[in-house]
Amino acid sequence: MKPYARFQHAALKSAGALCALALLAPAVRAQVGRTWPSEKKVVVDPVTQTPLTFLTSSPVGDSKIYQTHPDWTSDGKWVIFRSNRAPGQAFAVNEQDGTIVQVTDKGYTGMLCVARKSMKLFIMRDLSAPRDVGRDPYIDAAAAAEAAERTGRPQTAAEPGNEQPQPQRARRAPGTFRRSRGPFQIVEIDLQRLFDDAVAGKVNPAGYERVCGTTPDGMHATGNMGLDANEDYVYFGITGEELRPQLAAGQEMQTAHGPRNMGAGPSGLASMNLKTGEVKIITVVGFQIGHVQTNPWVPGEIIFCWETGGKAPQRTWVVHSDGTGLRPLYPEAPYEWITHEAVITKDEVAIAILYLRPPLASNPQNQQWGAETGTDLHPTGVGIVNLRTREMRIVGQVPIGDPGRSIWHVNGSADGRWAAADDFRYRLWIIDRHTGEMMLLASMGEKTHAADHIHPTFSADGTKLEIQSAMLSANGRSLNICVVPMPRTWLARYDSHVAAP
């Protein structure tokens, strides 16, 4: 890897500015460690009778972390989320007693990265942005594109009633995002110390953050970020025309793709050493990088995507942290609509192959992606790609004629037993990867006008999933955090310690 030479000394130059900005943070935001009483509710799913444990239930608008990243803390006791209780801030809820704790007070941008080994949370903070920014712009654009494809009408992620945080900014047009200005801090938060003090009612005014480093002046980070398996580096997306001369070998500069006019390059990936703060460029590609995630079991393995707001010519990519090994993860055909990739085991990534419309559907917007794209003329469903052998297998599909029509967002258990997906009716499906059985686990009230999709994520032990749902909301839009157990009959198939009911 080569250092970002143009900006070798920028982090040192910015140190004084950072201190000044910190002093200007509004006192009203000094809420780290603030607690809320339990909102836990257990609701029986009206279709499957599965007990659904809602860890939050007030109509303030809560959102889970995207299904590409872990949600539970390393001790398995707390779930990290974001909420309009304080717009743009991160929160945690204790799964056992329901205590809610505010984790940040100065805002963050992009992805919340919960460590799997230590009780730490890593965030990116745009020092030029309002202190209550806490969004991933690529999630906004992709979600709007998905809704438009499914309904056949243009939508934006910022429709009236959307409870996702939208502070101090005008609504964006579909497919656009606020250009980050920076500089950007990577910040480590000591969750264990924070939780202990918050529960004891003795919050430390000095706070619980450590600034790991600051990006150089002029480096435009996107907020898409992943934590290395060894928890010593973060990898994040960068963008800007200044990257063009550093295009990786074999890469060609791409123009915007599809009706949403997104996907053009250049963009890249950069790393930060969490101990020294050193920033280096990993690779530069000719397209727009969207989600960035890591393999939590293999140090230095990064999975990322080409984001177009819809179907990309080649959605999924993999690269090593030293810049070697850049290649498509799953080489897709022109007619395949691949999306929502998620690393699920040491050697595997789950992908969604969407069925968006019948082959002869004539929706003009759909047709712009390709006449056969996203149709069932070709196989669709939950695909699982092996990173080592490169084999891809489809492990499940929504049943023929089911109103859910297509899987949408995918995940899997780390032990390789289970896969999960939501569908176009915002319902939760599970798959036994050994037998091929697929079962509807929860209908979640089919709240298809919810502020976002349910985005299932497995717990580390594979016994439950976390989702977000508008099932309890009077307006059918405001989301809450919910934990759904795997059926005991399924768990008992492979674990003699679990007694089937």
Task: Report residue 159: phi and psi, to 5°.
Answer: -65, 155
Residue 280 confidence (pLDDT): 98
Cβ-count burial of 320 within 10 angstroms (0-12 exposed, 13-18 middle, 19+ buried)? middle
Residue 130 confidence (pLDDT): 65
* DSSP-H helix ranges across 303-414: 364-367
DSSP 262-307: B-EEEEEEEEEETTT--EEEEEEEEE-EEEEEE-TTSTTEEEEEE-
Task: Report residue 452: phi and psi, to 5°.
Answer: -160, 170
Residue 396 confidence (pLDDT): 97
Domain parsing of the chain, residue ranges: 2-491
Residue 128 confidence (pLDDT): 86
Average pLDDT, the chain: 86
Q: What is the pLDDT of residues 292-305, one digit of tens each?
A: 999 999 999 999 99
Count of beta carbons in the 10 Å neighbourhood of residue 23:
7
Residue 4 confidence (pLDDT): 42
Residue 162 confidence (pLDDT): 30
* Three-class SS state of 194: helix
Mean of the pLDDT values across residues 167-176?
35
Q: How far is CA 267 from CA 182, 277, 315, 501, in A?
A: 16, 21, 15, 52
Confidence of residue 25 (pLDDT cuts 50, 70, 90): very low
In 3D space, the residue among 189, 207, 205, 183 whose CA is nearest the CA of residue 128 turns out to be 183
Residue 9 confidence (pLDDT): 38
* DSSP-H helix ranges across 39-190: 137-151
pLDDT above 90: percentage of residues in the chain? 75
Range in 365-379, 401-415, 477-491 the model is least confident about: 365-379
Task: Report residue 331: phi and psi, to 5°.
Answer: -70, 105
Residue 498 confidence (pLDDT): 74
CATH class (in words) of the domain with range 2-491: mainly beta
Extended strands (E) in 307-389: 316-320, 327-328, 338-345, 348-353, 381-386
Residue 11 confidence (pLDDT): 39
Confidence of residue 65 (pLDDT cuts 50, 70, 90): very high
Residue 156 has pLDDT above 70, yes or no: no
Range in 5-19, 86-100, 308-322 the model is least confident about: 5-19
Residue 258 confidence (pLDDT): 85
What is the spatial distance between Cα 174 and Cα 156, in angstroms, rounded to a whole number?
Answer: 5
**What is the C-alpha R_g of the chain?**
21
Residue 14 confidence (pLDDT): 39
- Residue 303, token pair as written in the block: 């999975």
Residue 125 has pLDDT above 90, yes or no: yes
The answer to whether 284 touches 251, Cβ cutoff 8 Å, is yes
Residue 414 has pLDDT above 90, yes or no: yes
Residue located via tokens 């930060």: 272
Residue 17 confidence (pLDDT): 39
Residue 158 confidence (pLDDT): 31
Residue 495 confidence (pLDDT): 86
Residue 214 confidence (pLDDT): 98
Query: Residue 442 forms beta bridges with which residues?
Result: 428
Residue located via tokens 């999306």: 339
Which residue did the predictor score with more confidence, 190 or 158?
190
Q: What is the pLDDT of residues 197-256, one digit of tens each?
A: 999 999 998 899 999 999 999 999 999 999 999 999 999 999 999 999 999 999 999 999
Its pTM stands at 0.87
Range in 28-42, 146-160, 183-197 the model is least confident about: 146-160
Q: What is the pLDDT of residues 72-114, one digit of tens each?
A: 999 999 999 999 999 999 999 999 999 999 999 999 999 999 9
Mean of the pLDDT values across residues 256-265?
91
* DSSP-H helix ranges across 129-276: 137-151, 191-200
Residue 457 has pLDDT above 90, yes or no: yes
Range in 160-164, 467-471, 473-477 the model is least confident about: 160-164
Confidence of residue 334 (pLDDT cuts 50, 70, 90): very high
Residue 497 has pLDDT above 90, yes or no: no
Q: How far is CA 98 from CA 41, 57, 95, in A?
A: 9, 11, 6
- Residue 14, token pair as written in the block: 């910015």
- Residue 122, token pair as written in the block: 């890593």
If phi over 0 gives left and psi between -120 and 50 gives alpha, with beta otherwise, what is residue 61?
left
* DSSP-H helix ranges across 25-102: none
Compute CA 3 distance to the chain's CA centroid, rounded to the nearest angstrom: 28
